Amino acid sequence: MKAYAKINIFLKIIGLDERGYHLLSSRFVLLDTLYDELFLSNEKQKKGFELISDFKCENNIIDKAYRLLCEEGFENELKEFFNKKSLKLIKNIPTCAGLGGGSSDAAAFLRLINEELNLKISKEKMLRLSVKLGSDLAFFLSGVKSANVKGCGEVIEKFDDELVPFELHFPNIACETAKVYEEFDKKVFDFSKALKDAQIYEKLNTKELLEYENLALNDLFKPCVRLYPKMSEFLETGYFLSGSGSSVFKAKI
């Protein structure tokens, strides 16, 4: 099963919720040319649930998705199934790059297991469960190509977009999302202006949005550059930032 990457055409931070989490308004677009691959295998190296991959990440989000399904009452089915099977992951999406790779992998895992084990988890329930795992999963589970995404990522509004070919660049810089948000919080920020801008951007298609200045579209670009000065090269040459970085993009001419 393919787990596609996404990019954020715009990302505005419009406030904080009662927990202190950042509230977003963003346009997510699925990248159908860049994806990880997940498949089931008879290869076993250890007992129980096993993720086989060149990608090494302890306590990764797929493990969390497995544990969540166990907590939701499917532990017996999962343990029996993975007594003889393993999950293989071929990682193509760069990590710490603002492309949602980990979230997409977890979403693909949930879909794969739901189908393979016939767990009969409805799409609505799957979306509710996804919020417990991460903010981007709901988009990847929604099945839409382009959407306005709001809240902490759980509100998905399909958007009839006019997409353009993208020139993508993946700097060899690992931008840690939590640190970028911490850097963002160090500066005074006008949430009300960001909300007004977001209300305009939500109505525009991707082609129209990419006519704006790069800094105007992503509120995390400045803190990303402050933390990772090498990212200034892409800011100055007109690239747009996806998520908290480090992936950048332009409309391909």
Residues 105, 136, 161, 197: which is the catalytic one? 136
Architecture of the domain spanning 2-158: 2-Layer Sandwich (3.30)
Residues 145 and 130: their CA atoms lie apart, in Å, by 18
Beta-bridge partner residues of 241: 248
Model confidence pLDDT, tens digit, residues 229-240? 999 999 999 999
227 is annotated as contributing to ligand binding? no
Q: Is 136 a catalytic residue?
A: yes
User: Residue 117 above 90 pLDDT?
Assistant: yes
Predicted confidence band of residue 138 (pLDDT cuts 50, 70, 90):
very high
Please give the pLDDT value at position 22: 96
User: Residue 99 above 90 pLDDT?
Assistant: yes
- If you average pLDDT over every residue of the chain, what do you get? 95
- Is the model more confident about 20 or about 196? 196
Q: Is 6 a catalytic residue?
A: yes
175 is annotated as contributing to ligand binding? no
Backbone torsions φ then ψ of 115, nearest 5 degrees:
-75, -45
Distance of CA 53 to the CA centre of its chain: 20
237 is annotated as contributing to ligand binding? no
Ranges of each domain in the chain: 2-158, 166-251
Please give the pLDDT value at position 32: 93
CA dihedral 36, 248, 17, 145 (to 10 degrees): -50
Residues 137 and 162: their CA atoms lie apart, in Å, by 23
Architecture of the domain spanning 166-251: 2-Layer Sandwich (3.30)
101 is annotated as contributing to ligand binding? yes
Say how many Å lie between the first and final Cα of the chain, rounded: 32
3-state helix, strand, coil in the chain (%, to 5): 35, 25, 40
Cβ contacts of residue 163 below 8 Å, gap of 6+?
29, 145, 146, 205, 206, 207
Mean pLDDT in residue range 200-205: 98
For 86-118, b where at least 16 C-beta lie within 10 A, e where not — what string?
bbebebebbebbbbbbbbbbbbbbbbbbbeeee
User: Residue 145 above 80 pLDDT?
Assistant: yes
Model confidence pLDDT, tens digit, residues 36-46? 999 999 999 88
Please give the pLDDT value at position 58: 63
Residues 158 and 146: their CA atoms lie apart, in Å, by 6
Residues 6, 12, 91, 250: which is the catalytic one? 6
98 is annotated as contributing to ligand binding? yes
Beta-bridge partner residues of 89: 38, 53
99 is annotated as contributing to ligand binding? yes
Nearest to 101 by CA among 230, 5, 228, 174: 5
CA dihedral 209, 9, 215, 21 (to 10 degrees): 130
